[in-house]
Amino acid sequence: MTVRRPRTRRCRSSPRCRASVNGDNEISREEYTRFLTDVWSLEEADAVQAFRILDTSGDDTVSRPEFLQAIRQYFLLNDPDAPGSLFFGPA
Ligand SMILES: [Ca+2]
């Protein structure tokens, strides 16, 4: 799975516009924090905090089930305490 950054002038020429998940169905802390800092301009500390909360198993990766659960929580629940509420970082 490849997450592409929205096309902006700065982004078009940068290899950092892609947050590639290398086919293992897991997102590393580095990949997720890069996604949040590059695409959503979060501070790295906030991005790391979001990753740690989404990594509900604590194994330092966000697995496919953790990722899907976070998306469901973000879009379907109105629960600020759910891990998925930090899918795009702290508000
Ligand atoms: Ca995990």
Each residue's pLDDT expressed in tens, for the chain with a length of 91 residues: 455 555 454 544 444 444 445 667 799 999 999 999 999 999 999 999 999 999 999 999 999 899 899 999 999 998 888 888 888 877 6
Helix residue spans in 1-91 (DSSP H): 9-12, 29-39, 44-54, 64-76
Residue 23: give its domain's CATH number.
1.10.238.10
Residue 30 lies in a domain: yes
C-alpha 51 – ligand 1 centre gap (Å)? 9
56 is in which domain, residue-wise? 2-86
Q: Is 64 exposed, middle or buried (0-12, 13-18, 19+ CB in 10 A)?
A: middle
C-alpha 12 – ligand 1 centre gap (Å)? 31
Residue 68 lies in a domain: yes
- Can you give the pLDDT at residue 37? 94
C-alpha 8 – ligand 1 centre gap (Å)? 31
CB 55 within 8 A of CB 62: yes
Q: Counting runs of H as helices and runs of E as strands, what totals does the chain give? A: 4, 4
Residue 60, SS3 per DSSP: coil
- Can you give the pLDDT at residue 88? 81
Rounded-to-integer distance, Cα 33 and Cα 51, Å: 7
C-alpha 18 – ligand 1 centre gap (Å)? 21
C-alpha 29 – ligand 1 centre gap (Å)? 10
- Can you give the pLDDT at residue 13? 41
- Can you give the pLDDT at residue 80? 87
Residue 91 lies in a domain: no
Q: How many domains does the chain have?
A: 1
pTM: 0.69
